[in-house]
Chains A and B, each alone.
Chain A
Amino acid sequence: MIAVIPVRDGVLPAGADEAIAECDGRAVVAGSETAAVELTGIAREALLVELGDVAFGRWAAALCAGVAELGTADVILCPHSPDGRDLAPRLAFTLDRPLYAGATRVTPAVVQLARAGGRELHEVHPAGAFVATLQPGVRGVESFGEPPAVRTIDASDVEPVAADATVVDVLPPDARTMDLAEARRIVGGGAGLDAPVRFEMLAAFAAEIDATIGATRVITDRSWVHHDKQIGTTGVVVDPELYLAFGISGAVQHTAGLGSPDHIVSVNTDPHCPMMAMADLAIVSDANATLDELLRRLGGLVERPGG
């Protein structure tokens, strides 16, 4: 098994460490400024393939032609990050192998896949060599300790074989538009909040502390916020450092997707619910009124939406 990790400007994608760990430390690190990638503890042996700017058509062609390991590996594993998700089908296509995307566990003989929006686990037994992508956040990693043995290939001059898009610019993260899965600070709302407008207020409060909003399924089922914002086993798995829970009971399906925040604040009228038991700061109070007050205090600037 070998992990193929697309990097840009020396930055590893989400879930790179886990994909490499799943392949017991063997990695092909391919992309731009691969020499700058910090791999100590993450990999045991790494092949750095310098490919220049992102261009999935050209990358796939260069990798399949120029990296003998890919031809011989029984499993090629990419992280299911945006770049990994887009590169893997290209690799599978070029090598004419099946693709198992969105796996939660991968061995040469058995692959487990999260399906049906994360409600089901599908177990398949591949008949031969294949390509897979691994969901970030599902396995965790242990450090390999030593820096890896590193080899380098320069393939940046490989001719384009397919039309590819041209990168014009890469914009830095913006907390408000950040994907929930990657957010470091999350303000979550549950059924204790009494109206859709509360989630606009929650967003206003979140903006004040550079956080992203999340919600429970009860809320996304009501379409008060989009399903993208649902935290939990059937929503997004997150791992923030700060989590503030407003009117959330803390059902396992929710907290199982919560990772292990350094700090949890819970505001709930029920002092005994699981979310309160998990919290570092557990406040028994009306979450709606507390939100009003928070906005009043923080946001001399923030208008309360909906009056």
Chain B
Amino acid sequence: MRITVCWKWVAVDGADPDDRWAGVSPADEAALETALTLAGNGGEVTVVTVGATGSDAGLRRATAVGATHVIRVDGEGLGARDVARAIAPIARGSDYVLCGDYSLDRGTGAVPAYLAAELGAAQALGLVGVDRTRVPLRVVRRLDGGRREILDVPTPAVLSVEGAVARLRRAGLAETLSASTATIEVVAGPRPAEHDVVVTPYRPRARMLPPPSGGTLARVRDILDIGAAPAHGDAVTLDPPEAAQRIIDQLREWRYLPRDTA
């Protein structure tokens, strides 16, 4: 079995853009672990990263835990389409391509779907469970509204997994040592397209609200963005036991708890 794993190496949220503060997301780690178990003995797992020199550190780690090949496509600041395009030639021919559901910088999650389109493969994205024992592979995907979907996935397919799906094994000491000096295969990648992007700090957009059904007070409240919260009393000071009882009583009154609890 041949599996390609996509790892995105990113500087940690809010930190300096410095290799020290970088890594891959738990989802990407879960993708590699899933790949290693799926491939089993004799399988081939290739880990590919589209990134700058710093991402070699991630690929070394992938080597140490047991990836058969690692490749870095040299490139920075690429959009999801270009990333997928750069990965596709490497991933072509794989039974599965495994991605994280999100990278450490929480991009847009578009790379895996693009990859599936590029490869003409099936896609099953945002997985919360992978049953490795079944053929075809059976997976559980997260839907909205708290629902889950169970899918049977043919090959070839692109899968993206959430971080909780698996925990990446620890590399042995000898493997870590030899990976630390291994040379990483690098191939040239596309140059980023020029974009004019204006970057500002995040400001939430003013939300449109249905006209208030109540009177002036409700309207004022809406304008002040205290939402639908009804007027409230002053804070009450209570001992913890009283406080707990008060919360339970209130939840019961609001009908979040059945009337007959505790």
Chain A residues in the interface with B (C-beta under 8 A): 8, 11, 13-14, 21, 54, 56-57, 60, 81-83, 85-90, 92-94, 98-99, 101-102, 104-105, 112, 114-125, 133, 138-143, 162-175, 177-179, 182-183, 185, 209-210, 226, 233-234, 242, 244, 256, 259-265, 267, 271, 276, 278-286, 289-290, 292-294, 296-298, 300
Contact = CB atoms under 8 A, between A and B. Distances in A.
Interface string B127-156: 010000000001111111111111111111
Interface stretch (B40-48, B54-62, B226-234): B226-234
Interface residues of B, number: 88
Interface stretch (B63-71, B176-184, B248-256): B248-256
A259 B227 contact: yes
A121 B202 contact: yes
A89 B145 contact: no
Given A124-B195, A282-B235, A209 B256 contact: yes
B117 interface: yes
Contact of B196 (A125, A138, A162): A125
B145 A121 contact: no
Contacts of A168: 138, 150-152
B13 interface: yes
Contacts of B110: 85, 88-89, 99, 101
A86 B123 contact: yes
Nearest to A166: B152
Contacts of B37: none
A286 B247 contact: no
A95 B86 CA distance: 19
B150 A283 contact: no
Interface of B: 13-14, 79-81, 105-106, 108-110, 113-114, 116-118, 120-126, 128, 138-157, 163, 195-205, 207-210, 226-230, 232-248, 250-251, 254, 256-257, 261-262
B123 A165 contact: yes
Nearest to B244: A293
A32 B70 CA distance: 41
A172 B146 CA distance: 7
A290 B146 contact: no
A118 B105 CA distance: 9
A57 to B, nearest CB: 7
A267 B239 CA distance: 11
A124 B193 CA distance: 13
Given A85-B109, A124-B196, A170-B147, 10 more contacts: A99-B80, A119-B13, A122-B197, A165-B123, A169-B149, A210-B256, A262-B228, A267-B247, A285-B237, A293-B244
Contact of A167 (B151, B203, B245): B151
A289 B234 CA distance: 21
B81 to A, nearest CB: 7
A165 B152 contact: yes
28 contacts: A54-B149, A57-B123, A82-B126, A85-B126, A88-B113, A89-B80, A90-B116, A94-B117, A99-B108, A117-B105, A124-B195, A139-B205, A162-B117, A163-B120, A163-B122, A166-B152, A168-B138, A168-B152, A170-B149, A177-B146, A179-B146, A233-B202, A242-B256, A261-B227, A261-B229, A283-B238, A285-B239, A298-B262
